């Protein structure tokens, strides 16, 4: 074969194509034959081609056994594969397929059906030709799509044509149909009923919804239906644009830099279900929420991460919120958010040790907090005010108004970060419980704790206690670190963390606070604690010597931890530092002004009291007026 890398040449070299071409040539020339001699010549020629083709295939198989590198690539990998598919719908190929099937089934009397099957192939050829001419504009991949579903397509052709014709002016549903054509054919009766319904017309077509569902969401929420959310995997649901199951109470987008971790832990404490993570992938957010909601547990929150640099699939994800519920926006003074941004920590990539033993130098372990810089992969020992520039590469940190324009007709409930600080958090959660109908909190002390605060970037740690280290406990006078005990399985895991983090990571039922057993006076930070499983604490108490050295190590560790926290706190910038930097950087100042003018429109209209309470934002507005009065901002254009 001359061009084995060409899919077109290989299809044209297929036995079916060659046999069919002879048939067509014969039909054009049969008037030249007399007394049936033409049919004899035809069958001789067909037999000769079939014999030659078989011989060529045998030679090819023998060749690649000796020279496997000469094996032809898979047809699908050829660069012209998609263009080549149309040759499978040529009359030559379709007639050839009929002949091959006839030859294979001679013992079943297939020769008597040959004329009928040839007539059928001619008819199907004309049908496909018409389809490709009419529907090529609806989907450029129409040939590729139908080639995988040829007979199923023909079976339901009139009804399929009707659906496509009715929706020929609604491209999103056509895209969905052709993208999922196998599924469309398999579930055609169900899909047809939905696409021809008034509900589909009202909810999707009239709205020109960009991501119309291929199935009726109302039926999918009913577990009595044969096909429902429970038996449709999340991956397929995403492909066919299924809205998320309606089993959630409200939507909670996390914008970052606003106390979202604390509020999330408060929700969990009140028995609400959510998938809290920092993956920043809208596709993964859909999968996680879909799988949570379809299990029909009660008290679910539709949570996802709105902040970050990832925008892939965002529009589609937001378009798949069908249930009209309240969207809860946790907001904060923008300048305070930027202060947190510029102070943003990262873990020490070289020295971030979260698991250690009694021989470990805790001073080295506590040197775990680093700070971001404007250079990817570079970290600093202290925050840099210039890092503020990094946060302006995108406007995705302030997408309040943009989000609302993407998900129309939703009611918004604003809550300011000040309302979830320790002094007010418990009362705020009681108010939210009344509004959203979840269980009111009872553990007031928990809500008076701080989720991250001064511990951010430092906690949590795990001390692995093992009798092997009892004579090699770290002290300032000597240090012979030996981590071999970490490989043993019979030690005790002791967590040094905060009450709120234990709750947040859903460990509160497993780990108990034993702080008072190790310290003779209260710790400086009330929310800091020593947590163990009760059975492991019992084991530790039984070994009095191991308990005593652990207690001594922990007292020294916590003293060093408190000093490290004070050291890190002293490095941090304040809101005034952010304002001063913006004062000296007009380009950055104007950019922020334009972003906030656009994104704070809704909250200024509906909660002007919150905006008025933002002390540093008001100072920023005043600064812009004084420094840039007369400048043209985007809102003026």
Note the pLDDT tens digit of each residue in 553-569.
999 999 999 999 999 99
Going by C-beta distance under 8 Å and a sequence separation of 6 or more, which residues neighbour residue 180?
214, 239, 240
As a whole number, the mean pLDDT across the chain is 90
Query: Between 544-571 and 534-542, two packed helices, what is the crossing angle to 10 degrees?
Result: 120
Question: Are 235 and 310 a contacting pair, CB within 8 Å?
Answer: no
Residue for token pair 């069908």: 322
Q: What is the pLDDT of residues 452-471, one digit of tens each?
A: 789 988 999 999 999 999 99
For the segment 37-49, the average pLDDT, to the nearest whole number, is: 82
Percent of the chain with pLDDT over 90: 65
Residue from 413, 421, 480 nearest 453 by CA = 421
Q: What is the pLDDT of residue 476?
A: 65
Please check the confidence at residue 130 and state whether its pLDDT lies above 60. yes
Going by C-beta distance under 8 Å and a sequence separation of 6 or more, which residues neighbour residue 112?
none
In whole angstroms, what separates CA 205 from the centre of its chain? Answer: 27
| 504: three-class secondary structure by DSSP | helix
Please check the confidence at residue 31 and state whether its pLDDT lies above 70. no
pLDDT grade, residue 633 (50/70/90)?
Answer: low
Q: Which long-range contacts (CB under 8 A, 24 or more apart) does 307-310 make?
A: 307/254, 307/255, 307/256, 307/257, 307/280, 307/396, 307/397, 308/256, 308/280, 308/396, 309/280, 309/393, 309/394, 309/396, 310/280, 310/281, 310/282
Q: What is the pLDDT of residue 414?
A: 98
| 146: three-class secondary structure by DSSP | helix
Please check the confidence at residue 631 and state whether its pLDDT lies above 70. no
For the segment 251-265, the average pLDDT, to the nearest whole number, is: 92
The more confidently predicted of residues 292 and 150 is 292
For the segment 312-336, the average pLDDT, to the nearest whole number, is: 94
> Which of 231-240, 439-448, 450-459, 530-539 has the lowest average pLDDT?
450-459
User: For strand 369-372 and strand 355-357, is the pairing parallel, antiparallel, or unpaired?
Assistant: unpaired
CA–CA dist 143, 88 (Å, integer): 9
Instruction: Pull the structure tokens for residue 227.
Output: 């096909």
CA–CA dist 145, 572 (Å, integer): 59
Element (H, E) at 609: helix 608-612
Q: What is the pLDDT of residues 63-96, one digit of tens each?
A: 999 998 889 999 889 999 888 888 999 999 999 9
> Which of 106-115, 417-426, 580-589 has the lowest average pLDDT?
106-115
CA torsion 70-71-74-79 (nearest 10°) is: 10
Question: Are 442 and 477 a contacting pair, CB within 8 Å?
Answer: no
Q: What is the pLDDT of residue 637?
A: 44
CA torsion 324-402-413-302 (nearest 10°) is: 50
- Kindly state the DSSP code that residue 273 receives in the 8-state scheme: B
DSSP 47-68: HHHHHHHHHHHHHHHHHHHH-G
The more confidently predicted of residues 38 and 205 is 205
Q: What is the pLDDT of residue 41?
A: 82
């Amino acid at each position: 074969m001359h061009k084995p890398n060409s899919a077109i040449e290989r299809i044209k070299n297929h036995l079916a194509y060659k046999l069919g071409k002879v048939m067509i040539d014969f039909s054009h020339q049969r008037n030249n034959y007399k007394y049936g001699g033409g049919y004899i010549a035809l069958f001789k020629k067909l037999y000769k081609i079939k014999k030659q083709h078989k011989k060529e295939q045998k030679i090819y198989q023998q060749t690649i056994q000796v020279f496997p590198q000469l094996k032809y690539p898979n047809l699908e990998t050829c660069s012209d594969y998609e263009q080549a598919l149309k040759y499978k719908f040529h009359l030559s190929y379709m007639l050839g397929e009929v002949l091959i099937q006839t030859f294979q089934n001679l013992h079943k009397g297939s020769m008597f059906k040959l004329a009928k099957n040839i007539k059928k192939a001619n008819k199907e050829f004309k049908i496909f030709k018409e389809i490709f001419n009419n529907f090529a504009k609806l989907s450029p991949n129409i040939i590729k799509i139908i080639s995988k579903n040829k007979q199923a397509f023909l079976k339901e052709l009139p009804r399929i044509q009707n659906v496509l014709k009715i929706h020929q002016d609604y491209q999103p549903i056509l895209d969905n149909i052709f993208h999922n054509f196998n599924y469309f054919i398999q579930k055609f009766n169900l899909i047809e009923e939905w696409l021809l319904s008034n509900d589909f017309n009202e909810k999707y077509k009239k709205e020109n919804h960009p991501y119309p569902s291929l199935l009726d969401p109302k039926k999918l929420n009913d577990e009595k239906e044969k096909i429902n959310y429970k038996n449709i995997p999340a991956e397929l649901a995403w492909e066919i644009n299924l809205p998320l199951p309606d089993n959630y109470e409200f939507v909670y987008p996390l914008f970052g830099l606003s106390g979202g971790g604390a509020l999330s832990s408060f929700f969990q404490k009140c028995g609400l279900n959510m998938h809290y993570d920092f993956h920043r992938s809208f596709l993964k957010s859909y999968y996680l929420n879909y799988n949570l909601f379809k299990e029909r547990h009660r008290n679910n929150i539709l949570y996802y991460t709105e902040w970050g640099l990832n925008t892939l699939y965002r529009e589609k994800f937001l378009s798949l919120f069908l249930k009209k519920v309240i969207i809860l926006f946790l907001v904060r003074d923008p300048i305070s958010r930027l202060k947190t941004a510029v102070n943003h920590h990262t873990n020490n990539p070289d020295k971030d040790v979260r698991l250690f033993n009694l021989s470990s130098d805790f001073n080295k372990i506590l040197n775990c907090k680093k700070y971001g810089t404007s250079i990817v992969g570079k970290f600093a020992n202290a925050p840099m005010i210039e890092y503020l520039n990094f946060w302006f590469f995108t406007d995705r940190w302030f997408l309040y108004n943009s989000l609302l324009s993407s998900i129309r007709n939703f009611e918004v409930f604003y809550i300011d970060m000040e309302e979830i600080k320790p002094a007010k958090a418990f009362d705020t959660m009681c108010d939210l419980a009344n509004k959203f109908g979840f269980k009111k909190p009872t553990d007031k002390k928990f809500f008076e704790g701080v989720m991250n605060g001064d511990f951010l970037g430092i906690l949590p740690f795990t001390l692995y206690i093992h009798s092997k280290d009892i004579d090699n406990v770290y002290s300032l006078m000597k240090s012979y670190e030996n981590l071999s005990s970490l490989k043993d399985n019979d030690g005790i895991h002791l967590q040094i963390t905060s009450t709120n983090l234990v709750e947040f990571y859903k460990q509160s039922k497993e780990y108990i606070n034993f702080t008072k057993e190790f310290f003779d006076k209260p710790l400086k930070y009330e929310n800091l604690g020593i947590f163990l499983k009760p059975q492991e604490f019992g084991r530790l108490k039984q070994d009095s010597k191991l308990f005593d050295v652990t207690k001594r190590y922990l007292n020294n560790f916590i003293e060093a931890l408190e000093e490290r926290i004070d050291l890190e706190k002293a490095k941090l910038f304040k809101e005034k530092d952010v304002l001063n930097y913006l004062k000296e950087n007009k380009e950055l100042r104007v950019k922020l002004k334009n972003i906030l003018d656009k994104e704070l429109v809704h909250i200024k209209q509906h909660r002007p009291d919150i905006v008025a309470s933002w002390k540093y934002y008001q100072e920023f507005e005043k600064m812009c007026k004084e420094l840039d009065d007369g400048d043209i901002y985007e809102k003026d254009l």
